[in-house]
Amino acid sequence: MQREKILQQIGQFNDEYDFIVIGGGATGIGIALETSTRGYKTLLLEKTDFTKSTSSKSTKLLHGGVRYLAQGDIGLVREACMERGRLLRNAPHLTKNQDFVIPTFGWFDEVKYTIGLKMYDILAGSLSLGASRRVSKKKALEKIPTMKPEIMTAGVVYKDGQFDDSRMAVNVLQSSVENGAYVLNYAAVKQLKRSQQGMINGVVFEDEETGTEYTAKGKAVINATGVFADSILQMDKPGSRKTIRPSQGVHVVLNKSFLPGDHAIMIPETDDGRVLFAVPWHGKVVVGTTDTPMDKPAIEPVALEEEIKFILETAGKYLVKAPKRTDVLSIFAGLRPLAAPKEDGSKTKEISRSHKIAVSDSHLFTMIGGKWTTFRKMAEDMVAKVEKVKNWNKTHSKTRNFQIHGYKTDIDLNDPMYVYGTDKEKILELARSESGMDQMISESLPLMKAQVVWAVRQEMARTTEDVLSRRIRCLFLDARESIRVAAVVTSIIAKELQRDKDWEEQQVKSFTKMAEKYLCCKPEEVQN
Ligand SMILES: Cc1cc2nc3c(=O)[nH]c(=O)nc-3n(C[C@H](O)[C@H](O)[C@H](O)COP(=O)(O)OP(=O)(O)OC[C@H]3O[C@@H](n4cnc5c(N)ncnc54)[C@H](O)[C@@H]3O)c2cc1C
């Protein structure tokens, strides 16, 4: 994961790759792992930072999707339940088995959810995380003491998986690199290259840091750009039909006092038919989400006023203490890359979440839709498709039972550094071996200097935002504190990357501007 070294190798050797993957979100990184572990020479190019787009802004659930079961999408639920089980096994340092409580009101609710969740258990087969069960109102309140007693007559407890999305991506990328893949952030694909017969055989990309252009030859080019898929399809065939309909989902992050304990809440049907989750995550509580159709994709979408209102009001209906804007530590919005429906007017929540692969006449392979939970299976399907279309020999997947970088089983979830897995010891060694590295930058997040240096040296972090948003999840956990520590973090990065004062100033300015969008109110309102 050392950017200069990888760029130098690409520039020096005019190699041909078996796979060029465009996009460094969940979809692209999954494909890079799948192809590199099968021995394919792979290059992954990401325009901004890995997971900067949707893949850092998920609800952080590895789930079959109870809602999709209600919609009768049995195939998708079964596939996702299997993948959930595999990921929990393959990356125990980044995932956990999470208990959810559904508050039920009346016997009809109770029967519906008890039977529905039994089905959910059955679909997971041998990879089930444990049986769901009906619990009395008293027991449900013991698990979630902050839930209003009057909203329920009983409850159902079920299990799903939870994870850290961006940390998962970093470790999957490290595994890919360990298997020979070349991965680059801040490398934007500008153009597709073609053979004399018009078949796609490479890309032109630009190093966004220097403006230098490179050409890379590839036998198969994969469009894994999520909500931006149509822009690459346009490069292939101008005027192509729109394939993606972005749907925005917003989350707010609250203090743990709103949901003390280990249990999460799942409200399967809010007033407007949406699902709402409140899930403990890294010592805070993530509450969301919404489902708002959007016309255009954006790399950093912003929560709409009505979305914030919906989440806070709905949470307030179920929690004893209703959260206010001033309680929000961070707010983030992401765009689901849903397949555009053939008929106009379909509601986004009715569009299937299953993935589809499109192959153009010139052999551009595009992944449409999907979920974080199924990113491994999506990659398996993509390789199978390429091998079939290109008439290559069939290879077999090695990722079903694969220990992802950092793999460690004896994890203490109360340790703020548990997500590093086996890398934690290396970071602590760095903190011991170099002077000042053990200095705490923030006690409340918490954040140590050695983590910042590690992110730059080992995880390809290039900017203040890369470090504070995605290598360490500070911005998502406490936007205000992240803004406060930005200057110190930037000076550490600048020293590592040998950047000057102008760069530092510009970094702090642009990070602060971006991070202010993660705030829900002005600082003076919080103090009042
Ligand atoms: C609110 C919300 C909650 C969700 N919650 C869950 C959940 O709990 N569990 C779950 O399983 N799934 C969840 N999902 C779905 C999941 O997050 C997405 O399906 C997944 O992250 C999409 O990944 P992607 O790689 O396809 O797209 P992205 O993450 O958008 O990645 C695409 C990348 O392509 C890059 N790119 C674009 N153009 C170019 C170019 N020209 N050159 C190079 N790179 C380019 C972009 O910069 C971007 O980084 C959620 C989604 C949302 C929106």
Ligand 1 atom closest to 232 (CA):
41
CA–CA distances in Å: residue 463 to residues 333, 482, 489: 21, 14, 10
Count CA atoms closer than 13 A to 408's CA, side-chain side.
17
Q: Give the rounded percent of residues in the chain with a pLDDT score beyond 90.
A: 88
Tokens 């053939």 sit at which residue? 342
Number of residues assigned to the chain: 528
pLDDT digits (tens, 9 = 90+) for 484-528: 999 999 999 999 999 999 999 999 999 999 999 999 887 667 665
The strand pair at 182-184 and 42-45 is best described as: parallel
pLDDT score for 177: 97
Please give the residue that has the higher pLDDT: either 149 or 66: 149
Ligand 1 centroid to residue 164 C-alpha, Å: 14
Q: Which atom of ligand 1 is nearest to the CA of 288?
A: 1
Asked if residue 352 has pLDDT above 70, the reply is no
Q: Ligand 1 centre and the CA of 425: distance in Å?
A: 31
Show the CA angle centred on residue 70, arms to residues 341 and 115, nearest 5°. Answer: 170
Tens of pLDDT along 261-287? Answer: 999 999 998 887 788 999 999 999 999
Handedness of CA 364, 236, 46, 25 (dihedral sign): negative
Question: How far is Cα 247 from Cα 507, in angstroms, rounded to an integer?
Answer: 30
Helix ranges, 183-264 (H): 229-236
Query: Which whole number is the average pLDDT over 301-319?
Result: 96
pLDDT of 65 = 85
Confidence of residue 343 (pLDDT cuts 50, 70, 90): low
At 115, the pLDDT band (50, 70, 90 cuts) reads: very high
CA 302, CA 121: separation in Å to the nearest integer? 36
Give the model's pLDDT for residue 345: 55
pLDDT of 348 strictly over 60? no
Q: What is the mean pLDDT of the chain?
A: 94
Query: Cα of 55 to ligand 1 centre, how many Å?
Result: 4
- For the Cβ of 222 lying below 6 angstroms from any atom of ligand 1, the answer is no
Instruction: Calculate how far, in angstroms, residue 118's C-alpha sits from the geometric centre of ligand 1.
Output: 30
In this structure, of 61-65, 204-208, 359-363, the range with the lowest mean pLDDT score is 61-65
Residue 77 clears pLDDT 80, i.e. is over it? yes
Residue 281 CA, ligand 1 centroid: distance in Å = 20
How many whole angstroms separate alpha carbon 136 and alpha carbon 60? 28
Cβ of 45 closer than 6 Å to ligand 1, yes or no, is yes
The pLDDT assigned to 351 comes to 62
Is residue 470 scored above 90 in pLDDT?
Answer: yes
Band of pLDDT at residue 344, cut at 50, 70 and 90: low
Whole-number Å distance between alpha carbons of 441 and 178: 31
**Is pLDDT at 26 greater than 60 in this prediction?**
yes
Q: How far apart are CA 303 and CA 524, in angstroms?
A: 21
**Tens-digit pLDDT profile for residues 436-466:** 999 999 999 999 999 999 999 999 999 999 9
**Residue range 313-322: mean pLDDT, rounded:** 96
Tell me the residue ranges of DSSP E strands in 296-380: 330-339, 356-359, 364-368
Atom of ligand 1 nearest to the CA of 23: 34
Residue whose Cα lies nearest atom 31 of ligand 1: it is: 25
Confidence band of 90 (pLDDT split at 50, 70, 90) = very high
- The DSSP H or E segment spanning 479 is helix 479-497
What is the gyration radius of the CA atoms in the chain, in angstroms? 23
49 pLDDT band, cuts 50/70/90, is very high
How much is the pLDDT for 104?
A: 95
Q: What is the pLDDT of residue 100?
A: 97
User: In whole angstroms, what separates CA 255 from the centre of its chain?
Assistant: 21
pTM of the model: 0.96
Identify any residues that bridge with 162 across adjacent strands, giving them in sequence order: 61, 96
Q: What ligand 1 atom has the least distance to the C-alpha of 45?
A: 43
Q: What is the mean pLDDT of residues 358-370?
A: 96
pLDDT at residue 350, as a whole number: 55
**349 has a pLDDT exceeding 80:** no
User: How many whole angstroms separate alpha carbon 96 and alpha carbon 92?
Assistant: 7
pLDDT at 342: 67
User: Which stretch of DSSP H or E encloses residue 453?
Assistant: helix 449-458
